[in-house]
Amino acid sequence: MAARCAATAIAGGIASSLRTVYDFIVVGGGTAGSVIASRLAEIRRWNILLIEAGEEAGDADPSWRLRAEPQAGTCLGAPDKRCEIPAGKGLGGNTLINNMLYVRGTPSDYDGWAEQGNVDWSYRNVLPYFLKLEDVRIKSSTREQRGKGGPVSILELPKKSPIVDTFVAACNRLGLRTVDYNAETNQTVGYVQLTRRRGKRITAADAYIRPFRTVFTNLHIMTAARVTRVLIDPRTKQATGVTVLTNGIERRVRSNKEVILCAGPIFTPHLLLLSGIGPKDSLEPLGISVHADLPVGVEMNLRHVAFPLHLATNRTIADSPTPTKLEAMAFLNAALPQTHRHFGASHEILFQYEPRDSREYFSLGLIHLRPASRGFLRLNTTNALHPPLIYTNFFTDPSDMEQVVRGIATCVKIVQSDEFSKLELKARKLQAPPCDRLRYGTDEYWRCVVRHVGHVADQPYGTCPMGSRSNGRSVVSAELRVHGVDRLRVADASTMLPVANGHTQATVYMIAEKASDMIKSYWDWGNELERRR
Ligand SMILES: Cc1cc2nc3c(=O)[nH]c(=O)nc-3n(C[C@H](O)[C@H](O)[C@H](O)COP(=O)(O)OP(=O)(O)OC[C@H]3O[C@@H](n4cnc5c(N)ncnc54)[C@H](O)[C@@H]3O)c2cc1C
């Protein structure tokens, strides 16, 4: 009976069709989890269980509502002065709520991963996976470097504001080229590329799960089901399954082949820690027996974004008003020379159109792409329903704030350019009362505003980074296997090494596509793969 259950959502989990043993258990039906479950289900003799804590169609509030621990001098305008850590909940995960920006990063990013010992992750090796996942419908894109016909549809905005072209022209004057920033490398400006189709958001579940629901009878999907631990045999150090909580009942589900964690950059390390994989010093005091002493959550990459510049133009809105939208982005090098040792961009500038009161307004946002400060997370209780403690550590390295101020100086240069002069821009001061006593436009003013209105860009990553065990900083190997524990893999934003763009979903999609092939070739070597595009 169980085998006939077609890619069924087993909402609430108590379903007679649930098996007790699967070949693969994929934990987290978000961005990576949707890809991996779907790709593994292509091997029809394998049974796959995908477990998602949120609802099938996304929760009414599809967010985990996570907050970082309070930290002086950052997110001062947020409730309780605690940075929100955005995280999506439901089938599709973050792709239910993200800003849909599709940005791959540059070849040198991935070549950097390879130089750190992950040779199979060089740009040459990851490009085929970007091409496989993409369905790019943008005229200006470079054909050899962009994919067509893959599951993830990527489009430009159908309608743009008239002033975005002024922004692009002003950036061109600064030496930035208008090219496809997902194909070219550096110093670029372009219109945003979004994961959308026919005017609608495309989630990972829309791209990888829904079209195959009736086809993949070997894929079972449990929603509203929260994995609480990975089961590890202490003798063999092998993952053997998971415990999962549904409707208040905890049950065990076993895996024949592998458990694959795709619960995202906060909950994947959380599950590892709860399961005895993490820093011994912090797990033992909580009474957790340690299976592998690894730096889980010890470092967390995250970027800060602020929109400090808000400007009114002299233009009234001709058409019916459109909502606020990100329309263009520029990647440039504005860093202090002594601190920027990379070839790639140091800053990203975002152009956001914000019509209001029948006038055309816009704002410029800034992300410093290579912050020196790193966050971390840790467990403070063994209760699996309590999220870990999250520390952003924003600006704890003082050079980061100086880089932000430098980036804002570039934004000011852009709006003071000849291109913008005909729009007679007027600056709008932000609602940040403690900054009002400072003179608008001074470095001191910008620092104050950034500390008040800034927040976490996108989402953290790199809490379980890939690399060789001997470097002491990595949690998974280049094959994404957890060091020292057999049959357990991580494949999501947790494993990412730094990339020079402020966004992560494209890289996560690529990681998941590549991980799927790694798993298939490990378990299916020599057999004919039933592949699909
Ligand atoms: C508000 C917001 C805006 C963003 N905007 C952009 C953008 O414009 N461009 C961009 O590139 N990136 C953006 N990002 C980041 C990007 O979407 C993520 O980095 C990426 O999608 C992460 O994928 P993932 O698979 O690692 O995690 P997720 O997609 O978060 O998937 C994890 C899944 O696991 C589930 N889960 C967690 N714990 C458990 C458990 N114990 N048991 C079962 N299930 C569990 C979660 O509910 C979730 O569905 C944004 C993120 C957010 C939150």
* Amino acid in the structure at residue 502: G
Ligand 1 centroid–CA 338 distance in Å is: 34
Buried b (16+ CB within 10 A) or exposed e, 113-148: bbebebeebbbebbbebbbbbbbbebeebeeebbbe
pLDDT computed for residue 162 by the predictor: 85
From the CB of 88, is ligand 1 less than 6 Å away?
yes
From the CB of 171, is ligand 1 less than 6 Å away?
no
pLDDT computed for residue 337 by the predictor: 60
For residue 528, name the pLDDT band (cuts at 50, 70, 90).
very low
DSSP secondary structure string for all residues of 49-108: EEE-SS-TT--SS-B--EEPPP-TTSSTTSGGG--EE--B-STTGGGGTS--B-----HH
Distances (CA, A) of 329 to 37, 364, 478: 33, 9, 31
- Residue 338 reports pLDDT greater than 80: no
Q: Is 196 in a helix, a strand, or coil?
A: strand
Distances (CA, A) of 428 to 120, 264, 349, 361, 425: 49, 37, 18, 9, 9
**Domain for residue 497, yes or no?**
yes
Tokens of 174: 């600064």
**Domain for residue 159, yes or no?**
yes
Longest dimension (CA), the chain: 73
For residue 232, name the pLDDT band (cuts at 50, 70, 90).
very high
Q: Rounded to an integer, what distance in angstroms lies between the CA atom of residue 33 and that of residue 121?
A: 20
From the CB of 30, is ligand 1 less than 6 Å away?
yes
**Which of ligand 1's atoms lies nearest the C-alpha of 271?**
41
**Which of ligand 1's atoms lies nearest the C-alpha of 512?**
25
490 belongs to an annotated ligand binding site: no
The answer to whether 146 and 180 are in contact (CB under 8 A) is yes
- Name the residue of 505, 513, 514, 516 to mutate for ligand 1: max ligand atoms within 8 A of Cβ: 505
pLDDT computed for residue 159 by the predictor: 86
Residue with the bigger pLDDT between 18 and 494: it is: 494
Q: Rounded to an integer, what distance in angstroms lies between the CA atom of residue 74 and that of residue 457?
A: 13
Residue with the bigger pLDDT between 113 and 430: it is: 113
For residue 394, name the pLDDT band (cuts at 50, 70, 90).
very high
| 3-state DSSP helix/strand/coil % of the chain, to nearest 5 | 25, 25, 45
Tokens of 441: 């436009």
pLDDT computed for residue 320 by the predictor: 62
Ligand 1 centroid–CA 95 distance in Å is: 6
Instruction: For 474-484, write each residue's pLDDT tens digit.
Output: 999 999 999 99
- Name the residue of 67, 91, 98 to mutate for ligand 1: max ligand atoms within 8 A of Cβ: 98
pLDDT computed for residue 199 by the predictor: 87
Q: Rounded to an integer, what distance in angstroms lies between the CA atom of residue 117 and that of residue 328?
A: 35
**Which of ligand 1's atoms lies nearest the C-alpha of 87?**
53
**Domain for residue 482, yes or no?**
yes
For residue 321, name the pLDDT band (cuts at 50, 70, 90).
low
Ligand 1 centroid–CA 30 distance in Å is: 6
**Across all residues in the chain, what is the average pLDDT?**
91
Predicted TM-score of the model (pTM): 0.94
pLDDT computed for residue 197 by the predictor: 93
Q: The domain spanning residue 252 has which CATH number?
A: 3.50.50.60
The answer to whether 103 and 181 are in contact (CB under 8 A) is yes
Q: Rounded to an integer, what distance in angstroms lies between the CA atom of residue 466 and that of residue 481?
A: 9
**Domain for residue 422, yes or no?**
yes
Q: Is 262 in a helix, a strand, or coil?
A: coil
Instruction: For 291-309, write each residue's pLDDT tens digit.
Output: 999 999 999 999 999 999 9
Split into its structural domains, the chain has a count of 1
Closest by CA position to 301, among listed 405, 391, 402, 389? 391
Distances (CA, A) of 75 to 85, 306, 451, 504: 11, 10, 6, 21
**Domain for residue 2, yes or no?**
no
pLDDT computed for residue 524 by the predictor: 80
From the CB of 55, is ligand 1 less than 6 Å away?
no
The answer to whether 267 and 278 are in contact (CB under 8 A) is no
pLDDT computed for residue 195 by the predictor: 97
**Domain for residue 15, yes or no?**
no
From the CB of 301, is ligand 1 less than 6 Å away?
no
**Domain for residue 8, yes or no?**
no
For residue 319, name the pLDDT band (cuts at 50, 70, 90).
low
pLDDT computed for residue 315 by the predictor: 85
- Residue 115 reports pLDDT greater than 60: yes
Backbone angles phi, psi at 312, to 5 degrees: -100, 140
For residue 14, name the pLDDT band (cuts at 50, 70, 90).
very low
For residue 342, name the pLDDT band (cuts at 50, 70, 90).
low
**Domain for residue 267, yes or no?**
yes
Q: Given CA atoms 270, 271, 275, 278 in this order, what sign does their dihedral have?
A: negative
From the CB of 493, is ligand 1 less than 6 Å away?
yes
Containing domain of residue 471, as a range? 21-525
From the CB of 178, is ligand 1 less than 6 Å away?
no
Residue with the bigger pLDDT between 213 and 375: it is: 375
Q: CA 425 from chain center: how many Å?
A: 34
Distances (CA, A) of 164 to 170, 190, 194, 322, 358: 10, 10, 16, 14, 17
Closest by CA position to 499, among listed 348, 372, 369? 369
The answer to whether 69 and 129 are in contact (CB under 8 A) is no
From the CB of 99, is ligand 1 less than 6 Å away?
yes
Q: Rounded to an integer, what distance in angstroms lies between the CA atom of residue 326 and that of residue 319?
A: 18
For residue 464, name the pLDDT band (cuts at 50, 70, 90).
very high
Backbone angles phi, psi at 334, to 5 degrees: -125, 20
